[in-house]
Amino acid sequence: MVSAEHEALVAALVAAGVRTPVDLPSDDALAAMRAAELAEPPVVVDGVVIESIDRGGVPCLQVTAPGSDARRAVIYFHGGGYLWMTPQSHVAVLVALSDACGAPCVGAHYRRAPEAPFPAAVEDAVAVYRATVDAGVGAGAITLAGDSAGGGLVIATLLAARDDGLPMPGAALCFSPWTDLAVTGSSADTADDPIVGGPALRSMAAAYLHGADATTPLASPLYADLTGLPPMLIQVGTREALLDDARRFATLAVTAGVDVTYIEHADVIHMWIVFGPELPESQRAFELAGAFSRAHAGQSDAGDAGSATTNARGASPR
Protein backbone atom coordinates (compact mmCIF):
# COMPACT_ATOMS: atom_id res chain seq x y z
CA MET A 1 0.00 0.00 0.00
CA VAL A 2 1.32 3.45 -0.88
CA SER A 3 1.87 6.04 1.81
CA ALA A 4 -0.43 8.92 2.66
CA GLU A 5 2.42 11.21 1.61
CA HIS A 6 2.44 9.64 -1.86
CA GLU A 7 -1.29 10.11 -2.28
CA ALA A 8 -1.04 13.72 -1.10
CA LEU A 9 1.65 14.32 -3.72
CA VAL A 10 -0.54 12.79 -6.44
CA ALA A 11 -3.45 15.05 -5.45
CA ALA A 12 -1.18 18.10 -5.53
CA LEU A 13 0.27 17.19 -8.93
CA VAL A 14 -3.17 16.64 -10.42
CA ALA A 15 -4.42 19.93 -8.99
CA ALA A 16 -1.39 21.74 -10.40
CA GLY A 17 -1.89 20.24 -13.86
CA VAL A 18 1.71 19.13 -14.26
CA ARG A 19 0.98 16.32 -16.74
CA THR A 20 3.31 16.56 -19.72
CA PRO A 21 1.55 18.37 -22.59
CA VAL A 22 1.07 16.69 -25.94
CA ASP A 23 1.93 19.78 -27.97
CA LEU A 24 5.48 21.10 -27.80
CA PRO A 25 6.01 24.79 -27.00
CA SER A 26 6.65 27.31 -29.75
CA ASP A 27 10.23 28.33 -30.50
CA ASP A 28 9.79 31.54 -28.54
CA ALA A 29 8.28 29.74 -25.56
CA LEU A 30 11.04 27.14 -25.61
CA ALA A 31 13.70 29.86 -25.75
CA ALA A 32 12.08 31.55 -22.74
CA MET A 33 12.07 28.25 -20.83
CA ARG A 34 15.76 27.67 -21.59
CA ALA A 35 16.59 31.21 -20.46
CA ALA A 36 14.67 30.68 -17.23
CA GLU A 37 16.69 27.53 -16.55
CA LEU A 38 19.93 29.47 -16.90
CA ALA A 39 18.66 32.14 -14.53
CA GLU A 40 17.85 29.70 -11.73
CA PRO A 41 20.00 30.36 -8.65
CA PRO A 42 22.35 27.56 -7.55
CA VAL A 43 20.85 25.08 -5.13
CA VAL A 44 22.46 24.96 -1.69
CA VAL A 45 22.18 21.92 0.59
CA ASP A 46 23.70 22.04 4.08
CA GLY A 47 26.76 19.83 4.40
CA VAL A 48 26.80 18.91 0.72
CA VAL A 49 29.31 20.23 -1.82
CA ILE A 50 27.61 21.18 -5.10
CA GLU A 51 29.79 22.46 -7.93
CA SER A 52 29.64 23.01 -11.67
CA ILE A 53 32.29 21.04 -13.55
CA ASP A 54 33.19 20.06 -17.10
CA ARG A 55 33.39 16.37 -17.87
CA GLY A 56 34.43 15.48 -21.41
CA GLY A 57 33.23 18.84 -22.75
CA VAL A 58 29.80 18.36 -21.19
CA PRO A 59 28.67 20.72 -18.41
CA CYS A 60 27.84 18.79 -15.25
CA LEU A 61 26.72 19.34 -11.69
CA GLN A 62 28.76 17.37 -9.19
CA VAL A 63 27.18 16.65 -5.80
CA THR A 64 29.32 15.26 -3.00
CA ALA A 65 27.61 14.17 0.20
CA PRO A 66 29.62 13.75 3.41
CA GLY A 67 31.64 10.55 3.49
CA SER A 68 31.76 10.13 -0.30
CA ASP A 69 34.63 8.07 -1.71
CA ALA A 70 36.25 10.17 -4.46
CA ARG A 71 37.72 7.01 -6.00
CA ARG A 72 34.20 6.03 -7.01
CA ALA A 73 31.53 7.88 -8.99
CA VAL A 74 27.85 7.88 -9.84
CA ILE A 75 26.98 9.45 -13.20
CA TYR A 76 23.34 10.54 -13.40
CA PHE A 77 21.23 11.27 -16.48
CA HIS A 78 18.07 13.23 -15.66
CA GLY A 79 14.64 12.49 -17.11
CA GLY A 80 12.35 14.84 -18.98
CA GLY A 81 11.66 13.14 -22.29
CA TYR A 82 15.01 14.27 -23.75
CA LEU A 83 13.49 17.79 -23.90
CA TRP A 84 12.98 19.01 -20.35
CA MET A 85 14.70 19.33 -16.97
CA THR A 86 18.35 19.70 -16.00
CA PRO A 87 20.72 18.36 -13.36
CA GLN A 88 19.65 21.30 -11.19
CA SER A 89 16.02 20.15 -11.31
CA HIS A 90 17.28 16.82 -9.94
CA VAL A 91 19.57 18.09 -7.16
CA ALA A 92 17.56 16.32 -4.46
CA VAL A 93 17.97 13.05 -6.36
CA LEU A 94 21.70 13.64 -6.87
CA VAL A 95 22.15 14.35 -3.16
CA ALA A 96 20.17 11.27 -2.14
CA LEU A 97 22.15 9.01 -4.47
CA SER A 98 25.52 10.45 -3.45
CA ASP A 99 24.61 9.76 0.15
CA ALA A 100 23.13 6.30 -0.49
CA CYS A 101 25.89 5.15 -2.84
CA GLY A 102 28.75 6.72 -0.88
CA ALA A 103 30.25 8.44 -3.92
CA PRO A 104 30.18 11.79 -5.70
CA CYS A 105 27.20 12.00 -8.05
CA VAL A 106 27.73 13.81 -11.35
CA GLY A 107 24.59 15.02 -13.11
CA ALA A 108 25.24 15.38 -16.84
CA HIS A 109 23.67 18.36 -18.60
CA TYR A 110 23.45 16.56 -21.93
CA ARG A 111 22.17 18.33 -25.03
CA ARG A 112 18.40 18.16 -25.47
CA ALA A 113 15.89 18.08 -28.29
CA PRO A 114 14.52 19.70 -30.31
CA GLU A 115 17.65 21.86 -30.64
CA ALA A 116 19.94 18.81 -30.47
CA PRO A 117 18.08 15.63 -31.45
CA PHE A 118 19.24 12.00 -31.30
CA PRO A 119 22.02 10.95 -31.02
CA ALA A 120 23.34 14.10 -29.27
CA ALA A 121 22.31 12.94 -25.79
CA VAL A 122 24.01 9.58 -26.27
CA GLU A 123 27.20 11.23 -27.54
CA ASP A 124 27.32 13.52 -24.50
CA ALA A 125 26.58 10.69 -22.07
CA VAL A 126 29.39 8.54 -23.48
CA ALA A 127 31.75 11.54 -23.37
CA VAL A 128 31.03 12.00 -19.66
CA TYR A 129 31.58 8.32 -18.96
CA ARG A 130 34.79 8.18 -21.01
CA ALA A 131 36.17 11.30 -19.31
CA THR A 132 35.38 9.88 -15.87
CA VAL A 133 37.37 6.74 -16.67
CA ASP A 134 40.19 8.83 -18.18
CA ALA A 135 40.25 10.91 -15.00
CA GLY A 136 41.34 7.82 -13.09
CA VAL A 137 38.11 6.40 -11.70
CA GLY A 138 38.14 2.68 -12.40
CA ALA A 139 35.28 1.63 -14.65
CA GLY A 140 34.25 -0.99 -12.13
CA ALA A 141 33.87 1.73 -9.48
CA ILE A 142 31.42 3.74 -11.61
CA THR A 143 27.63 3.49 -11.40
CA LEU A 144 25.48 4.88 -14.22
CA ALA A 145 22.02 6.00 -13.12
CA GLY A 146 19.01 7.81 -14.52
CA ASP A 147 15.23 8.19 -14.49
CA SER A 148 12.71 7.98 -17.33
CA ALA A 149 14.45 9.19 -20.52
CA GLY A 150 17.61 9.30 -18.42
CA GLY A 151 17.08 5.64 -17.52
CA GLY A 152 16.89 4.81 -21.20
CA LEU A 153 20.00 6.93 -21.74
CA VAL A 154 21.84 4.86 -19.13
CA ILE A 155 21.23 1.75 -21.23
CA ALA A 156 22.05 3.51 -24.51
CA THR A 157 25.32 4.69 -22.97
CA LEU A 158 26.18 1.14 -21.96
CA LEU A 159 25.47 -0.10 -25.48
CA ALA A 160 27.52 2.65 -27.13
CA ALA A 161 30.40 2.21 -24.68
CA ARG A 162 30.40 -1.54 -25.21
CA ASP A 163 30.44 -1.14 -28.98
CA ASP A 164 33.27 1.43 -28.70
CA GLY A 165 35.36 -1.05 -26.72
CA LEU A 166 35.16 0.84 -23.43
CA PRO A 167 35.14 -1.16 -20.17
CA MET A 168 31.75 -1.56 -18.57
CA PRO A 169 30.89 0.27 -15.34
CA GLY A 170 30.33 -1.73 -12.17
CA ALA A 171 26.58 -1.12 -12.00
CA ALA A 172 23.58 0.58 -13.60
CA LEU A 173 20.53 2.01 -11.82
CA CYS A 174 17.43 2.59 -13.94
CA PHE A 175 14.36 4.27 -12.47
CA SER A 176 11.36 3.81 -14.81
CA PRO A 177 13.52 3.65 -17.95
CA TRP A 178 12.01 4.78 -21.26
CA THR A 179 13.21 1.93 -23.45
CA ASP A 180 10.72 2.03 -26.34
CA LEU A 181 10.40 5.30 -28.26
CA ALA A 182 7.97 3.53 -30.60
CA VAL A 183 5.66 3.63 -27.55
CA THR A 184 4.12 0.20 -28.10
CA GLY A 185 3.61 -0.77 -24.45
CA SER A 186 -0.04 -0.83 -23.43
CA SER A 187 0.60 0.94 -20.12
CA ALA A 188 1.49 4.12 -22.03
CA ASP A 189 -2.19 4.54 -22.85
CA THR A 190 -3.88 2.72 -19.98
CA ALA A 191 -2.00 3.73 -16.82
CA ASP A 192 -3.56 6.24 -14.44
CA ASP A 193 -0.34 8.25 -14.48
CA PRO A 194 -0.59 11.95 -13.53
CA ILE A 195 2.83 12.73 -15.03
CA VAL A 196 2.78 11.51 -18.64
CA GLY A 197 0.71 9.48 -21.11
CA GLY A 198 1.06 7.89 -24.52
CA PRO A 199 0.28 10.95 -26.69
CA ALA A 200 2.90 13.07 -24.91
CA LEU A 201 5.44 10.26 -25.09
CA ARG A 202 4.92 9.99 -28.83
CA SER A 203 5.28 13.75 -29.24
CA MET A 204 8.54 13.86 -27.29
CA ALA A 205 9.85 10.80 -29.14
CA ALA A 206 9.22 12.48 -32.48
CA ALA A 207 11.06 15.62 -31.36
CA TYR A 208 14.04 13.63 -30.10
CA LEU A 209 14.23 11.18 -33.00
CA HIS A 210 13.92 13.92 -35.65
CA GLY A 211 13.14 11.36 -38.34
CA ALA A 212 15.31 8.51 -37.03
CA ASP A 213 13.78 5.04 -36.75
CA ALA A 214 12.08 4.66 -33.38
CA THR A 215 13.46 1.13 -33.06
CA THR A 216 17.10 2.24 -33.41
CA PRO A 217 18.81 0.49 -30.46
CA LEU A 218 20.63 3.57 -29.16
CA ALA A 219 17.30 5.40 -29.04
CA SER A 220 15.16 2.46 -27.94
CA PRO A 221 17.22 -0.14 -26.05
CA LEU A 222 14.24 -2.51 -26.06
CA TYR A 223 15.34 -3.42 -29.61
CA ALA A 224 19.04 -3.88 -28.79
CA ASP A 225 21.37 -6.81 -28.30
CA LEU A 226 22.06 -6.51 -24.56
CA THR A 227 24.88 -9.02 -24.35
CA GLY A 228 27.69 -8.00 -22.04
CA LEU A 229 25.94 -5.27 -20.03
CA PRO A 230 26.80 -4.91 -16.31
CA PRO A 231 24.61 -5.67 -13.29
CA MET A 232 21.47 -3.56 -13.44
CA LEU A 233 18.81 -2.52 -10.93
CA ILE A 234 15.49 -1.53 -12.50
CA GLN A 235 12.81 0.10 -10.32
CA VAL A 236 9.39 1.14 -11.57
CA GLY A 237 5.96 2.02 -10.19
CA THR A 238 2.92 0.01 -11.20
CA ARG A 239 0.88 3.20 -11.81
CA GLU A 240 3.27 4.37 -14.53
CA ALA A 241 2.90 4.89 -18.24
CA LEU A 242 6.36 3.33 -18.61
CA LEU A 243 5.60 0.18 -16.62
CA ASP A 244 5.58 -1.98 -19.75
CA ASP A 245 8.85 -0.43 -20.94
CA ALA A 246 10.52 -1.56 -17.72
CA ARG A 247 8.90 -5.01 -17.64
CA ARG A 248 9.67 -5.88 -21.25
CA PHE A 249 13.23 -4.56 -21.07
CA ALA A 250 13.97 -6.48 -17.86
CA THR A 251 12.77 -9.70 -19.48
CA LEU A 252 14.93 -9.04 -22.55
CA ALA A 253 17.97 -8.30 -20.39
CA VAL A 254 17.54 -11.47 -18.33
CA THR A 255 17.30 -13.47 -21.55
CA ALA A 256 20.56 -11.87 -22.72
CA GLY A 257 22.30 -13.04 -19.55
CA VAL A 258 22.45 -9.68 -17.80
CA ASP A 259 22.44 -9.67 -13.98
CA VAL A 260 19.09 -7.94 -13.46
CA THR A 261 17.38 -7.01 -10.21
CA TYR A 262 13.86 -5.87 -11.07
CA ILE A 263 11.57 -4.22 -8.52
CA GLU A 264 8.01 -2.94 -8.93
CA HIS A 265 6.67 -0.44 -6.38
CA ALA A 266 2.93 -1.02 -6.08
CA ASP A 267 0.69 1.90 -7.08
CA VAL A 268 3.59 4.37 -7.33
CA ILE A 269 3.56 7.04 -10.05
CA HIS A 270 6.16 8.02 -12.64
CA MET A 271 9.18 10.07 -11.48
CA TRP A 272 8.19 9.68 -7.84
CA ILE A 273 11.81 10.08 -6.77
CA VAL A 274 11.96 13.47 -8.54
CA PHE A 275 8.64 15.02 -7.55
CA GLY A 276 8.69 13.53 -4.05
CA PRO A 277 12.27 12.68 -3.02
CA GLU A 278 11.25 12.79 0.62
CA LEU A 279 8.44 10.21 0.22
CA PRO A 280 8.83 6.88 2.02
CA GLU A 281 8.65 5.23 -1.41
CA SER A 282 11.50 7.42 -2.67
CA GLN A 283 13.62 6.82 0.41
CA ARG A 284 13.16 3.09 -0.11
CA ALA A 285 14.15 3.39 -3.78
CA PHE A 286 17.31 5.33 -2.86
CA GLU A 287 18.16 2.77 -0.17
CA LEU A 288 17.86 -0.08 -2.69
CA ALA A 289 19.91 1.86 -5.24
CA GLY A 290 22.64 2.60 -2.75
CA ALA A 291 22.90 -1.01 -1.62
CA PHE A 292 23.07 -2.19 -5.23
CA SER A 293 25.75 0.35 -6.17
CA ARG A 294 27.87 -0.46 -3.13
CA ALA A 295 27.57 -4.20 -3.82
CA HIS A 296 28.56 -4.01 -7.48
CA ALA A 297 30.64 -0.82 -7.75
CA GLY A 298 31.62 -0.36 -4.13
CA GLN A 299 35.39 -0.75 -4.43
CA SER A 300 37.73 1.66 -6.16
CA ASP A 301 39.41 -1.27 -7.89
CA ALA A 302 36.15 -3.15 -8.68
CA GLY A 303 36.47 -5.45 -11.66
CA ASP A 304 34.23 -5.94 -14.65
CA ALA A 305 30.62 -6.95 -14.16
CA GLY A 306 29.65 -10.59 -14.02
CA SER A 307 26.83 -12.25 -15.89
CA ALA A 308 24.73 -14.09 -13.31
CA THR A 309 21.01 -13.48 -13.56
CA THR A 310 18.90 -12.59 -10.54
CA ASN A 311 15.53 -11.01 -9.90
CA ALA A 312 14.48 -9.25 -6.71
CA ARG A 313 11.06 -10.89 -6.76
CA GLY A 314 12.50 -14.34 -7.39
CA ALA A 315 10.95 -14.61 -10.87
CA SER A 316 11.25 -13.10 -14.30
CA PRO A 317 9.34 -9.86 -14.95
CA ARG A 318 5.93 -10.35 -16.38
Return the axis-axis angle of helices 280-297 and 91-101, rounded to nearest 10°.
Answer: 50
What count of Cα atoms within 13 Å lies in the side-chain half-sphere of residue 201? Answer: 28
* Catalytic residue, candidates 68, 98, 148, 203: 148
SS3 content of the chain, % helix, strand, coil (to 5): 40, 15, 45
Q: Is 148 designated active site?
A: yes
User: What are the two backbone dihedrals, phi and then psi, of residue 295, each rounded to the nearest 5 degrees?
Assistant: -70, -40
Q: What are phi and psi of 35, to 5 degrees?
A: -65, -40
Is residue 240 annotated as a catalytic residue, yes or no? yes
d(CA 295, CA 3): 28
Q: What are the b/e assignments for 67-95, b being 16+ CB within 10 Å?
A: ebeeebbbbbbbbbbbbbbbbbbbbbbbb
Catalytic residue among 123, 270, 281, 293, which?
270
Q: Tell me the backbone φ, ψ of residue 13, rounded to 5 degrees.
A: -65, -40
Is 241:201 a contact under the CB 8 Å cutoff?
Answer: yes
**Rounded to whole angstroms, how far apart are CA atoms 136 and 172?**
19
Nearest to 242, CA basis, from 176, 146, 175, 317: 176
Please pick, among 123, 240, 264, 281, the residue that the annotation labels catalytic: 240
> Distance between CA 275 and CA 271 in Å, rounded?
6
Where does residue 311 rank: exposed (0-12), middle (13-18), buried (19+ CB within 10 A)? Answer: middle
Nearest to 282 by CA among 21, 49, 90, 82: 90
Which residues are tagged catalytic? 148, 240, 270
